[in-house]
Structure 1
Amino acid sequence: MTEECTDRGSPPPDHFGTARAYASHRPGVPPEAARFLAATLSGVPAPVLLDLGTGTGQVPSSILESLAPAHVSVVDTSRERMRAALDALLPELGASRVTGFAGRAEDFGPLDPDRRPHLITCCRAFHWMDRQAVLAMADRVAAPGAVFAVMGDGSLWTHDADWTRALRSLIQSYLGPVRRAGTAGAYAEPSRPYGEDLAGSAFSTVSVHEFPVTRVWEPDQVVGHLATTSFAGPALFGDRHAAFEDDARRLLSAHAAPGPLTEESVFTVCLARRPGDLA
């Protein structure tokens, strides 16, 4: 059996960098959070995982360190990133156990009724989606007893440290004071917390779990990471991107001279279940 790669309609504009840059410069899932997610599948005989907004497959790859699901489906609006996720997962799972879907998360449907997911994950991507439509899709496709997990940990734009404040000011000196959302325009904060989205859905029983994370960045790592973001991607700068990267390296190197560039963050997992599925 070969991998199935489906593309239904035209995905929305891509706000992020190439798959190679994404895989190299995006922080992964903290090991403690990955083990926690894997534990939600404990006791499920042949667990199926669905990862929405998969990027390059970091969530399923991290879960594979603790558990090998019977099947994994990955979804991304970028065909290139979805292919990168498949490339990462196929050596571990084999083509009969992983499939990819390029398109909007709300348009996903399992190609086989035996692939109804027991765990649906969405990491650092839920805010870009039509959340009500995605949760309705999840209710249609999920197996009995399924868990819907929304997770994330903010960004360097929102992180409050001397070096991130200076970096944000540099970005604003190039792009203006408003946080950008790729070439589509300004970023809009979600209208309500994710917990309220979940509580208003079929997955209305919600618990919140936090995992402290400390990251230490090198200046070049930060510059590479910025190229994968919606607020500082290369397309936003046009022919000034190289100049911006040079300025960013100088700024970051100056801040790194007295000590490392440290990011203290919290990786938050919102776990949601259908009330009728609870024992």
Structure 2
Amino acid sequence: MGLFTGTASYYRQYRAPIPESVVAVLDAAAGQARPRRLLDLGTGTGLVLQALLGRVDDIIGVDADADMLAEAEKALRPALDADTRLQLVHARAEEFTAPPGWQAELVTICRAFHWLDQQTVLARLDAQVAPQGAVAIFADSSPWSSPAPWKAAVRAVVQDFLGEQRRAGSGVWHLHDQPFSDILRESVFSDVEEVTVPVRRTRNTESIIGYLHSTSFAAPHLFGERLDDFDNAIRHRLADLADTDTFVDDNQFRIVIGRRPPHTPGQSA
């Protein structure tokens, strides 16, 4: 099974949209050239693409999970205006090749870079990014690593059911300890800018359960016949923490933007 097998519907419904404050950073990184072409790797259900609709003219979203792309298609196609082109491509980021002559002003990789063969992806992007284009790698923090009481309680329930080690689909999570900014500096996109954007969300119990089932560490298939038991255990644990069923999620997006240094010409496609 893949990392996100069975999670697509949960991902579309329960993952929070990309905040406008993050969209503003991405919009600025794309520059002013027209047409504005956007390449989103690990596009999932299209949350980044949806956030940038109206700001780009030509969009390619790439994902290795066909179910995720089906959710993206349902959400995005009806929202397109007549002048915006959208292609959704079922492929691994490490194997995707843009159409001849097509180069992106902005590449986005949201909540996905840690899953990729990073050096391979960045090397392939050299031919697929316009000379003045940018690569933006960004994510908010996982509840797995947060000390917030309700997130720690949720994590404990997951560990009760699946073991102490964080799962990653059918395997276990392996921490990537090299900062993404350093990885970009070792690539052709070595002119690096870092931006941190705080975000506050409010969740309830059912949205927390839905979010958990959108993740690789609590995907529904991991629980087998104990899925309902898990969901009820989360409900009971959270009920002990809040009478109003309201849980504040103080989080932040860390955005790393890489460009070619000014003296380095871009390759042609």
* TM-score between both structures, scaled by the size of structure 2: 0.92
1:229 aligned onto 2:218: no
Structure 1 runs (4+) greater than 6 angstroms displaced: none
1:34 to 15, 23, 26: 23
> Matched residues in 2 for 1:201 and 1:14: separation?
27
1:72 to 50, 59, 71: 59
Amino acid at match of 1:203: F
Deviations 1:185-221 (A, max 9, x none): 1100114111111010000111110110111110000
- Residue 17 of structure 2 aligns to a residue whose secondary structure is coil
1:104 aligned onto 2:92: yes
Partner of 2:127: 140
1:192 aligned onto 2:178: yes
> Matched residues in 2 for 1:49 and 1:270: separation?
17
1:85 aligned onto 2:72: yes
Q: CA separation of 1:101/1:259 partners in 2, compared to 1, >3 Å: closer, same or farther?
A: closer
Q: CA separation of 1:17/1:210 partners in 2, compared to 1, >3 Å: closer, same or farther?
A: farther
Mapping of residues 121-140 of structure 1, within 5 Å:
121-140=108-127
Contact conserved, 1:211 with 1:266, CA < 8 A, in 2? yes
1:246 aligned onto 2:235: no
Q: Work out the number of aligned pairs and report it.
A: 264
Deviations 1:70-92 (A, max 9, x none): 21000111012123223323231
- Residue 38 of structure 1 aligns to a residue whose secondary structure is helix
**The structure with more helix, counted as a fraction of residues:** 1
> Matched residues in 2 for 1:174 and 1:217: separation?
23
1:156 to 143, 163, 169: 143
Contact conserved, 1:219 with 1:256, CA < 8 A, in 2? no
Q: CA separation of 1:18/1:174 partners in 2, compared to 1, >3 Å: closer, same or farther?
A: closer
**The structure with more strand, counted as a fraction of residues:** 2
Q: How many angstroms does 1:106 deviate by?
A: 1.5
> Matched residues in 2 for 1:72 and 1:192: separation?
30
Q: CA separation of 1:79/1:141 partners in 2, compared to 1, >3 Å: closer, same or farther?
A: same
Q: How many angstroms does 1:182 deviate by?
A: 1.0
Partner of 2:250: 264
Higher relative contact order (CA 8 A, sep 6+): 2
1:171 aligned onto 2:171: no
* TM-score between both structures, scaled by the size of structure 1: 0.89
Contact conserved, 2:3 with 2:168, CA < 8 A, in 1? no
Contact conserved, 1:14 with 1:78, CA < 8 A, in 2? no
Partner of 1:8: none
Partner of 2:168: 181
Q: How many angstroms does 1:155 deviate by?
A: 1.1
- Residue 127 of structure 2 aligns to a residue whose secondary structure is helix
Q: CA separation of 1:16/1:256 partners in 2, compared to 1, >3 Å: closer, same or farther?
A: farther
Q: How many angstroms does 1:253 deviate by?
A: 2.2
> Matched residues in 2 for 1:20 and 1:142: separation?
31
Partner of 1:3: none
Amino acid at match of 1:98: L
Q: CA separation of 1:31/1:17 partners in 2, compared to 1, >3 Å: closer, same or farther?
A: farther
